[in-house]
Structure 1
Amino acid sequence: MLELLEISILGLASGSVYILIALAFVLVYKATNVFNFATGEMMMAGTYYFYFFDVQLGFGWLAALPMALLGAAITAVIIERLATRPLLGRPPVVLIMVTFGVSSIMRGLAQLTWGPDARQMTELLPRQPLFLGDLLIPGRLVWTAGIVAVISIGFILYYRYSRAGTAIRAASADQVTAESVGIDIRGVFRLAWIFAGVFAATAGIVTASVNGVTPQMGSIAMNVLAVVMLAGMTSVGGVVIAGLIVGWLEFVVGWYLGSSWQSFVPYLLVLVVMMVKPNGLFGEQRVERI
C-alpha cells in the first residue's frame, strides 16, 4: 500500500509537465481552431534560447529565463502571423499540414545551429528530496509540481476573470459575434499563441534541466496528445485534471507492468472515454454555423 501511494505521488508530480504542454495545445485550438503540431518545436526553441543565453553567453539563469520566454513568445507570434493567419478559413487539414511543416523547419534549424547531440543545461531545480513520513519524493519533482501548480492556478484565474481571458472565451464561442461587439480577434489569436509559446518553453526548460536539450525533444509533446484528447480539446481547466490522470497512469503502469505498456495504456483510456464522450471528459460540443 505504501509503495502504491509513493508511486501515485510520483506519477501525479511527473504529470504536471504535461499540463503546461497541453495548455499550449488547447489555448491555440480554443482561440483559433488550429491544432498546432509545432507545439513541441516551440518548446524546443524556447529551451535552446535559454541554453544560448545561460550557457553560451554566460548571462546566468536569472537573466536567461525571461529572455528565453520573450524569445519563445516572439517565435510564437511569428508562426501565428506568417504561417497560420494567412490560411485561416481554409480546411483544417491545410493548417495541420502547415504546422507539421513549421515543426520540421524549426527542428532542422536547431540541428544546423546546435547539432544533433544533447546539450546539458544548468540544473535549476534542487535535488534535495522531500520526506513525507516514510515516503521519499525527489526534490526536482516537488519543485516541478509546485511551479506548474502556481502557473496553472494563476493562468486559470487570469483566463476566468480578466478581460483578455473573457475575449479568448468569446472568440472561442463565436468569432463573428465577438468581432461584432468590438473584440480584436487578431489580438486574441496573437495572445493565445504567446501564452502557448511561453507555457511550452517553460515545460521544455524544466524538462531539459534534467535531461538536456536536443533538436528531437519536441517529440515529448506528442505524448501529451492523450492528455488533450482525454480532457477535450477546448477545456483549459480539464487539461489540468487530465494531465494528472495520464501522468499517474503512465507511472503506475510502467512500474507494475513495464515500460512497454506505459506508452499505449493512456491512449487505451482515451479510446474508451471517447466512445462514451466523443468530446472528452470536459470538452464542449461545437456547433458550426452554415
Structure 2
Amino acid sequence: MKPIISASECASELAGPRPPVLLDVRWQLGGPHGRPDYEAGHIPGAVFVDLDAELAGPAGTGGRHPLPDPDEFGAAMRRAGVRRDGPVVVYDGGQGWAAARAWWLLRWAGHSDVRVLDGGLAAWTGELSKETPDPAEGDFAPAPGALPLLDADGAAALARSGVLLDARAAERYRGDVEPIDRVGGHIPGALSAPTGENVDAEGRFLSPERLAARFAGLGVAGETTEVGVYCGSGVSGAQQVLALELAGHRAALYAGSWSHWSADESRPVATGPDPS
C-alpha cells in the first residue's frame, strides 16, 4: 500500500463507507505544543495525538524521543479509535515529520493500513472543525517488530557495510552548529541526506521516480542495498524512511538517533562534509 494519500483522496474516503481514523499530530521541533492549533481548527473528525507524550517515551538515556512503551502506545491509539483492521490517516502541519513518526510507529507495531496526508493540513481544502470528537474505543494491539529498527551498534555497523543516511540539516551533519544535543557532527560513515530534499516547495513528497534518483545518488540502489536512517531524535528520520519506501526501499530507523548516539562520550563523532 502506498504510504501517502492526497487531500482529495482523503476527502473521498472520509465520505465513503469505510472512512479512515484521522490523527492530527501537529508538532514543531522546539516550538509550542500542537494542541492549541488543533483546537483552533482541524479536519472534521480528527483526534489530536501528542507526539511528545504518546508517540515517545520519556526523554533520557534512550534519547530525546525514545520509542514509547508498546502497551502505553497501544492504549493511546485505542483511545483515538484505531482499529487493527481499519484504515488510518495521519497528518501534521505540513513538513511530514510528526505524521511520519506516527505512521512509522503504527507500521512498526503491526498496523498495515496507515497513510500520511501528503502536504499535511496545508493541503486540505475542505472545512475545518473546532469540535473535539469522542471516538469509539479501538481494538488495536501493538505487535512490535514489523519494521526494521537499529540500535547504536547496528547503526555503526550499517555505516560500514551498507548505507546510513543522516536526515538532519547539512550544517548539523557537518557539526557547524548543534542547537540541541551535546556535540555536533555525525556517525562515522553516515551520508548527509536532509529531509527537505524529499519534498517540494509545498511540502508534498517528490514522485517515486525522483526520490529513487535522489537515493540512488547516495548509493541506495537495487534490492540488496541495506539502508538505515537516523536524525536528531527519531522524528524527521521517520519521514526519510517513508520517502525511501516511496522510492521502493525498506529502510531501518535508528530511533534513538543523534540524541542517543552523542550522549555517550565513548562513541566516535565525525565532523565536516565527508562521511568519515
> For this structure pair, what is the TM-score category when the shorter chain's length is used for normalisation?
under 0.3
Larger proportion of helix: 1
Higher relative contact order (CA 8 A, sep 6+): 1
Larger proportion of strand: 2
Q: TM-score, normalised by structure 2?
A: 0.27
Larger radius of gyration: 1
